[in-house]
Amino acid sequence: MEKNRWIISDVAKKTGLEAHVLRYWEKELDLEIPRNELGHRYYLDCHIEIFNKIHNLKEQGYQLKAIKNAIYHNNLTNTNNIIPMPIPSITNSYRNQEENQIEVKNPNDKMNQFRQILSEVMLQTMNEHGKEMGIQISDKVIKQVDYLLRMQEELEDERFRRLDETIRSYQKDRQEIGLSYKENKRQNHLIKKKQKRVMGHA
């Protein structure tokens, strides 16, 4: 029976991983983490070993789906038994997201999801076809991402430009109305002065 009990910050230090990454893996891989009498998670040495193996597999380009499959089949210790799961194309991934109507609270989350998909695609390509092919595809993908970011910035610039034009037009209309009011007031004042002069000579 293992005696060492660790909290997640200890596990993060021992594995060199961020705590939020560990919790994400716990959720995605359905890892059973015990809790103490207060309901707090605690980790044993075996959990640290599992996290280290998962980290190594991720570094080799394996996806969490493949790692999860290996865990269920008790093949985590033998990486030769892990079969990489195919990754759908970027277009299909976005189409599936639209069909499922995934709600994203923060617009930046979409870009983060996009980058995550790209990272997985590059890792899978490097795993299947070698690093050289992966680097070539990586360059193409980076160019595509840069293009998309530029397009997004241009759209934002255009939106702000139109908003600025609307504000300027509104301010101009107000100025013209103000000038017209002042001119009418001045004309009325001149008319009244002329009327007084006429009345004075009468």
Q: Residue 5: which residues within 8 A CB-CB, separation 6 or more?
A: 36, 42, 43, 44
For the chain, domain boundaries:
8-124
Distance of alpha carbon 157 from alpha carbon 22, whole angstroms: 39
- Is 112's pLDDT higher than 80? no
The answer on pLDDT for 13 being more than 90 is yes
46 or 177: whose pLDDT is higher? 46
CA distance 15 to 52: 6
Question: pLDDT: is 164 or 117 the higher one?
Answer: 164
**For range 148-158, the mean pLDDT:** 72
The region of weakest confidence among 55-64, 100-109, 132-141, 146-155 is 100-109
Please report the pLDDT score of residue 92 as a whole number: 45
Phi, psi of 145 (to 5 degrees): -65, -45
Q: 38 pLDDT exceeds 70?
A: yes
Q: Would you say residue 135 has pLDDT above 50?
A: yes
Select the more confidently predicted residue: 183 or 65: 65
Q: Which range, 7-11, 110-114, 165-169, 182-186, has the best average confidence (pLDDT)? A: 7-11
CB 90 within 8 A of CB 27: no
- As separate numbers, helices (DSSP H) first and strands (DSSP E) second, the chain gives 7, 0
Q: Which two tokens stand for residue 54?
A: 């998962």
- The per-residue DSSP string of 132-175 comes to HHHHHHHHHHHHHHHHHHHHHHHHHHHHHHHHHHHHHHHHHHHH
7 sits in the region (left: phi over 0; alpha: psi -120 to 50; else beta) called: beta
> What is 8-124's CATH number, 3.90.1150.10, 3.40.50.300, 1.10.1660.10, 1.10.357.10?
1.10.1660.10
- Here the tokens at position 86 are 């195919």
- φ, ψ at 31 (rounded to 5°): -75, 135
Structure tokens belonging to residue 58: 């991720």
pLDDT value for 19: 92
The top-scoring range by mean pLDDT among 83-92, 114-123, 162-171 is 162-171
